[in-house]
Structure 1
């Protein structure tokens, strides 16, 4: 089992590491259009391909959506209390501690550990987390939120299309499905390359910020795991659905939290440190959970 987990996680680490090296030594991944391509084309294609090709029933999707929402809601309540007790900023730390990196790290890990069935679940969970980033994250850090932002989110639109297609038993032509499959195949490796590239750009100048950053780095994956364990035990989920939900909520602080903190003049250096420290912690937890499941 240990060899299987190592085999699953090694490509993820190596591809992200390649992205890190490319980010340090080249500008290959610096064009913002690459990220937009993955977010607006790759992720929606991956979502539709995974859900429709697995013939996921609308009931199964509804269970995953409900579980994801309950986990994030519970995490929000617990984290609110945690931040008040520690006297930390709710505006800048609530979303990063609630929302895991379920996209460019969680999806490849779920696919590596559980194959196509895990991938289908992961892309649905990731879409819910993206909605949370665009509501809880943007709303708190910016001080304002506009619902129109969701209408521009490709994965959210793809999720709605998938729900409608499943509800009406609509099957896309083989030519369209083959096209979506080809596009989606570039998504996972590119997500990992962009993750490594983003990590290569992070800078930390104040060592005095280490204490809180380390505390938060342990809090995000451990509390996410505990909450997911509790919520999934209450719902009629399949073993794969339960496992993927738990592992995705054990993921580290998302890179998008650093980007939002930078954009809205938040504690970007602490956020950078949280990402770097929480990453190996999450990988360790994922490995243990994969071994248990």
Structure 2
């Protein structure tokens, strides 16, 4: 089992390292259009293909959406209480603890561990987390929120379209499905390399905050995993749906939290450290869960 886990996760880590190297040594990944291409075209294509190819039932999709929303709510309540106890401002620290990196890292990990069916579940979960990023994340860090921001979110739009197609039993023609498949195949490697590039550009200037950032980094995957394990006991999810939800809830702090903190003048050094520390912590936690529970 350990060998299977290593074989599954090794390509993910290698692609992240490749992105880190390219980010440090080249300008191959510098274009902002590349990230926009993944967000606005690659991820929506991945979502549509994964959901339609496995013919997921609308009821199953709604179950996954509801379960994910409940996990995020539970994590938010626990994290809010924790931050109040340790006397940290919720404005900048709550979103990173609540919203994991289910996109760049979560979807590839789900695909590596559970195959195409697991990836279909993962992209639905990731779309819900995307909504949380653009509501809880932007709302808390900026102090304001504009609902129309969701109308520009590609994965959310694709989720709605996929639900409508499933509701009315609409199947896309084979050429279109093949096109979505090709887009999906290039999306996962680019997502991982962009994650590596983002890590390479993180800036940490104040080393005296390492202790607090380490504590928060350990807290993020732990509270996510515990919350997901509680929710799967309450929801009528299949074993595969439960496993994918637990794995994605254990993901590390998302890079978008660093971007939002930079934009709204938050503690960028600490959030950068949280991302760096929470990635190996998260992957080790997933390995332990895989060994003992999943």
Normalising by the smaller structure, the TM-score range is over 0.9
Is structure 2 residue 14 aligned with structure 1 residue 7? no
Is structure 2 residue 195 aligned with structure 1 residue 209? no
Q: Which runs of 5+ in 2 are unaligned?
A: none
In structure 2, the residue matched to 1:179 is 179
Structure 2 distance, partners of 1:98, 1:119, is: 21
Structure 1 distance, partners of 2:3, 2:158, is: 36
- Deviation of 1:291 (Å): 2.7
In structure 2, the residue matched to 1:251 is 251
Deviations 1:241-289 (Å, cap 9, x if unpaired)?
0000001000000000001001111000100000000110001011122
In structure 1, the residue matched to 2:128 is 128
In structure 1, the residue matched to 2:286 is 286
- Deviation of 1:290 (Å): 2.3
Q: How does 1:20-169 map to 2 (within 5 A)?
A: 20-169=20-169
Q: Which runs of 5+ in 1 are unaligned?
A: none
TM-score of the aligned structures, taking structure 1 as reference length: 0.99
Structure 1 distance, partners of 2:290, 2:51, is: 22
Deviations 1:85-114 (Å, cap 9, x if unpaired)?
111010001110001100100100000000
Structure 1 distance, partners of 2:289, 2:13, is: 17
Structure 1 distance, partners of 2:290, 2:46, is: 23
- Deviation of 1:208 (Å): 1.0
RMSD, matched Cα = 0.7
1:101/1:254 contact within 8 Å kept? yes
1:113/1:290 contact within 8 Å kept? no
Structure 1 distance, partners of 2:221, 2:80, is: 16
Structure 2 distance, partners of 1:144, 1:27, is: 34
- Deviation of 1:175 (Å): 1.1
Structure 2 distance, partners of 1:262, 1:186, is: 29
TM-score of the aligned structures, taking structure 2 as reference length: 0.99
- Deviation of 1:14 (Å): 0.2
In structure 1, the residue matched to 2:267 is 267
Structure 1 distance, partners of 2:288, 2:112, is: 14
Which secondary structure state, in structure 2, belongs to the residue aligned with residue 203 of structure 1? coil
Which secondary structure state, in structure 1, belongs to the residue aligned with residue 102 of structure 2? coil
* Large movers: runs of 4+ above 6 Å: none
